[in-house]
Amino acid sequence: MRIAFIVHEFPKLSETFVLNQAIGLIERGHDVDIYTHEINGTEQAHPDVNKYGLLDHTYELPIMPYSLFLRVILALWLLVRNFHRNPAMFLRSLNIGKYGIQVLGLRQIFASVALADKAPYDIIHSQFGTQSFNAVSFARVLQPTPKTITTFRGYDISAFLKKKGDHVYNRIFKQIDFFLTNSDFFCKRVIKIGCNPSKIRVNRSGLDCSQYTFSPRFSHPDQVVKLVTTGRLVEKKGIIYSIQAVAKVLPNHPNLRYLIIGDGPLKEDFQHLINRLGVSHAVHLMGWKNVREIVDILADSDLFIAPSVTAQDGDQDAPINVLKEAMALGMPVISTWHGGIPELVSHGVSGLLAPERDSETLAEHIDYLMRHPEQWESMGRAGRAMVEKHYNLTDLNNQLIELYDMILNTPQTTTLTADSGLISPLAKLLPWPTWVGKVRQ
């Protein structure tokens, strides 16, 4: 199969799920191209980006201005400069007879610029619902028409929904062939806002457990206990509450050390908080680390905390990969009753969960684990078992390919034409050349 991924930026260290799926497909003999609005350097990328030469198959999408005036000017310039590359494709992108006033958004011209020299694809897979609009444009201009899949992962079904409204995907639900989510939590939400339940399935973000050596955690009297957080220093990671929680328990547990791995816009705020609470001797902002460094720090640590919260803009997390990594290594974990996290962390079995923004309960959980190190090993084993059973990357990639095969062998049920009532009256007066080719229904 030839598969095109559409993402916002690539490579992105916090989105290893895209990398894992791409590599899984490549290792199974499929061709994968990646289309993105922003191509990043490899300094902070996963080493597999270079190992598999993924940047050689990554293409930057033309920037489409928000201003309609600027968009029209740029689209005309792109059309003049690129029309010769694939005249039939560019004419399809302007088929007002088929797509009505949607053509006036000009998104299909920008898609044509990216695709004019590419061989046909079997699958267009938009990673995040926010890219599904581009997936529709890709499918409209390509011949033969590929099947389309969209995966909802978090921001697209939380913050984006809060910003744009529950109806933002109504047209997409009719135009995309199939949908995936990375958790039951988000699957229910997608169905609630209008997705046909028969067109959606959960495909979790997996982990290659063979890359994470399980090691039971034990504690000895007076030994330093290392508590770790890994993630971007942004609101939804809830790190302010774990800092406050650690400050509460330090008087009773002076051997506790809290390591915060990551960077982001709240770094300075967190350092001010650490200084104000007088815990700089025990709480350390470690800054950004590469993948190998993160795994090494986790392997040398005892407990993991991910105090995720719903951000003010509505942004929420699915079961986050860093929790899976910590559990695969055998670490007891502390997290929150947030988003899809309770699907991963079983309270009292593989870890402990607290309400969002509740530093008191987080402190109680840290205190409990500090006082009961005899439970660390059993929690660590339960966590490893959960990841191996439900988040096995090999199994999940095999499921994805089975899904692709199913969709390719299913008759088309979506429509890429304009919604009823949107056909421009002008289109009825303009015959469309039959040699351009039709989009398969």
What does the pLDDT read at residue 352? 98
Residue 348 has pLDDT above 90, yes or no: yes
Q: How confident is the model at residue 428 (pLDDT cuts 50, 70, 90)?
A: very low
2-206+393-436 CATH choice from 3.50.50.60, 1.20.1250.20, 3.30.870.10, 3.40.50.2000: 3.40.50.2000
Q: Say what the pTM is.
A: 0.89
How confident is the model at residue 413, as a pLDDT?
A: 65
Q: What is the pLDDT of residues 250-308, one digit of tens each?
A: 999 999 999 999 999 999 999 999 999 999 999 999 999 888 899 899 999 999 999 99
Torsions phi, psi for 9 (to 5 deg): -145, 150
Does 419 score more than 80 pLDDT? no
Of 438, 365, 431, the residue nearest 88 (C-alpha): 438
Q: Give the separation between CA 121 and CA 406, rounded to whole angstroms.
A: 16
What's the confidence (pLDDT) of residue 102?
Answer: 78
pLDDT level of residue 44 (50, 70, 90 thresholds):
low
pLDDT at 222: 72
Q: Do 182 and 157 contact (CB within 8 A), yes or no?
A: no
pLDDT of residue 290: 84
Sequence-separated contacts (24+) of 407-414 with Cβ below 8 Å = 407/123, 407/147, 407/149, 407/177, 407/178, 408/1, 408/122, 408/123, 408/147, 410/177, 412/145, 412/147, 412/177, 412/440, 412/441, 413/177, 414/148, 414/174, 414/175, 414/176, 414/177
CB atoms within 10 A of CB 249: 22
Q: Is the pLDDT of residue 439 over 60?
A: no
Q: Does the pLDDT at position 236 exceed 70?
A: yes
Count CB neighbours of 263 within 10 A: 16
pLDDT of 226 strictly over 80: yes
What digits encode the pLDDT tens for the residues 166-193? 999 999 999 999 999 999 999 999 999 9
* Residue 238 pLDDT > 80: yes
- At residue 411, the pLDDT reads 80
Q: What was the pLDDT predicted at 410?
A: 85
What are the distances in angstroms from CA 53 to CA 39, 58, 173?
14, 9, 34
pLDDT the model gives residue 223: 87
Same fold, 2-206+393-436 and 209-390: yes
For 115-148, write each residue's pLDDT tens digit. Answer: 999 999 999 999 999 999 999 999 999 999 999 9
Mean pLDDT, rounded, for 339-348: 95
Min mean pLDDT across 142-156, 206-220, 233-247, 326-340 is at 206-220
Contact 294, 324 (CB under 8 A): no
Q: Which residue has the higher pLDDT, 431 or 117?
A: 117
Domain ranges of the chain: 2-206+393-436, 209-390
Q: How far is Cα 118 from Cα 207, in angstroms, rounded to an integer? A: 32
Over range 354-373, report the average pLDDT.
97
Contacts of 274 (CB under 8 A, 6+ apart): 243, 280, 283, 285
Angle between helices 132-141 and 107-115 (to 10 degrees): 70
Name the band, by pLDDT with cuts 50, 70 and 90, for residue 420: very low
Q: How high is the pLDDT of residue 96?
A: 87
**What average pLDDT does the structure give for the chain?**
90
pLDDT for residue 430 is more than 70: no
Fold of 209-390: Rossmann fold (3.40.50)
Distance between CA atoms of residues 402 and 3, nearest Å: 14
How many Cα atoms sit within 13 Å of 247 on the Cβ side? Answer: 16
- Percentage of residues in the chain having pLDDT higher than 70: 93
Retrieve residue 161's tokens. Answer: 């929904």
4 pLDDT band (50/70/90 cuts)? very high
| pLDDT of 95 over the 60 cut | yes
Type of residue at 274: I
**Closest by alpha carbon to 19, among 184, 27, 80, 63?**
27
Query: How many other CB atoms are there within 10 angstroms of residue 40's CB atom?
Result: 16
Q: Which two tokens stand for residue 294?
A: 């993160």
